[in-house]
Structure 1
Amino acid sequence: MAAAVSVRRADYANPHDAASLVMLLDAYASDPAGGGDGLSDFAKSHLVRELAARPQAYSVLAFDGDAPVGLVNCIEGFSTFACKPLVNVHDVAVLSSHRGRGIAEQMLALAEIIARERGAVKMTLEVLSGNAPAVKLYQRIGYAGYQLDPAMGTAQFMQKWLEAA
Structure 2
Amino acid sequence: MGSGTEQNHPPVEIVRAELDRPDHSAAVLDLLDAFAREPVSGGRPLPREVREELIPGLRSHPTTLILLARKDGRFIGAAICFTGFSTFRARPLINIHDLTVLDSHRGQGIGRRLLRAVEAEAREMGCCRVTLEVWNENLGARRLYGSEGYRGDGSTGGGSYFFMQKELA
Q: How much has 1:19 moved relative to structure 2?
A: 0.3
Partner of 1:89: 96
Given the two structures, how large is their TM-score scaled by the length of structure 2? 0.83
Partner of 2:139: 132
How many residue pairs are counted as aligned between the two chains? 152
**Conserved? CA contact 2:9–2:108, under 8 Å:** no
When residues 70 and 80 of structure 1 are mapped into structure 2, their CA distance, relative to the original with a 3 A threshold, is same
**Conserved? CA contact 1:6–1:65, under 8 Å:** no
Partner of 2:15: 8
Partner of 2:126: 119
Aligned partner letter, 1:40: P
Q: How much has 1:55 moved relative to structure 2?
A: 2.2
**Conserved? CA contact 1:8–1:110, under 8 Å:** no
**SS across alignment from 1:105:** helix
RMSD of aligned Cα (Å):
1.7
Alignment of 1:67-86 (within 5 A): 67-86=74-93
**SS across alignment from 1:155:** strand
Q: How much has 1:59 moved relative to structure 2?
A: 0.5
The gaps in structure 2 that reach 5 residues or longer are: 1-7, 160-169
The separation in 2 between residues aligned to 1:118 and 1:157, in whole angstroms, is 28
Aligned partner letter, 2:36: A
Partner of 1:61: 68
Partner of 1:157: 157
Q: How much has 1:3 moved relative to structure 2?
A: 4.3
Partner of 2:51: 44
Q: How much has 1:100 moved relative to structure 2?
A: 0.6
Aligned pair partner of 1:20 in 23, 27, 32: 27
Q: How much has 1:158 moved relative to structure 2?
A: 3.5
Of all paired residues, the percent bearing the same amino acid is 37
**SS across alignment from 2:126:** coil
Aligned partner letter, 1:140: S
Partner of 2:115: 108
Given the two structures, how large is their TM-score scaled by the length of structure 1? 0.85
Higher strand share: 2
The separation in 2 between residues aligned to 1:41 and 1:7, in whole angstroms, is 28
Alignment of 1:136-147 (within 5 A): 136-146=143-153
**Conserved? CA contact 1:7–1:62, under 8 Å:** yes
